[in-house]
């Protein structure tokens, strides 16, 4: 399964604005996208509240995953850029 391991570098972690962007991007994809934290908590990126409840902060390690598709790698790149912009 295509995935991205990243360290959250946004100043305020996964607060409302980046989470809303993650959900918007995930919903534009036909397959489910999941977000998993280092402690193993996993949520579907279709719910802003579920992601917000994870309490992700700057420096946390997360994994984004989605089933293989023609657009999976591009989507994971876009999602990664939201939480860990270069």
Residue 82 has pLDDT above 90, yes or no: yes
Give the CA distances from residue 7 to residues 13, 36, 39, in Å, rounded to whole numbers and listed in that order: 10, 12, 14
Question: What's the CATH code of the domain at 46?
Answer: 3.30.1340.10
Q: Mean of the pLDDT values across residues 26-50?
A: 94
Residue 45 has pLDDT above 90, yes or no: yes
Confirm whether 5 is a catalytic residue: no
Q: Which domain holds residue 27?
A: 3-83
Domain count, the chain: 1
CA distance linking residue 47 with residue 5, whole number of Å: 20
pTM of the model: 0.92
Closest to 60 (Cα-Cα) out of 18, 14, 20: 14
Residue of 5, 11, 15, 29 with catalytic role: 15
CB 4 within 8 A of CB 64: yes
Q: What is the edge-to-edge ordering of all strands in the sheet holding 61-65?
A: 3-7, 61-65, 34-37, 42-44
């Amino acid at each position: 399964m295509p995935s991205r391991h990243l360290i959250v570098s946004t100043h305020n972690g996964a607060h409302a604005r980046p989470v809303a962007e993650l959900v918007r991007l995930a919903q534009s994809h036909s397959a489910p996208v999941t977000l998993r934290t280092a402690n193993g908590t996993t949520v579907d990126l279709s719910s802003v509240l579920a992601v917000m409840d994870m309490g992700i902060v700057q420096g946390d390690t997360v994994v984004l995953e989605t089933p293989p598709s023609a657009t999976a790698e591009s989507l994971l790149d876009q999602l990664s850029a939201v939480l860990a912009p270069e």
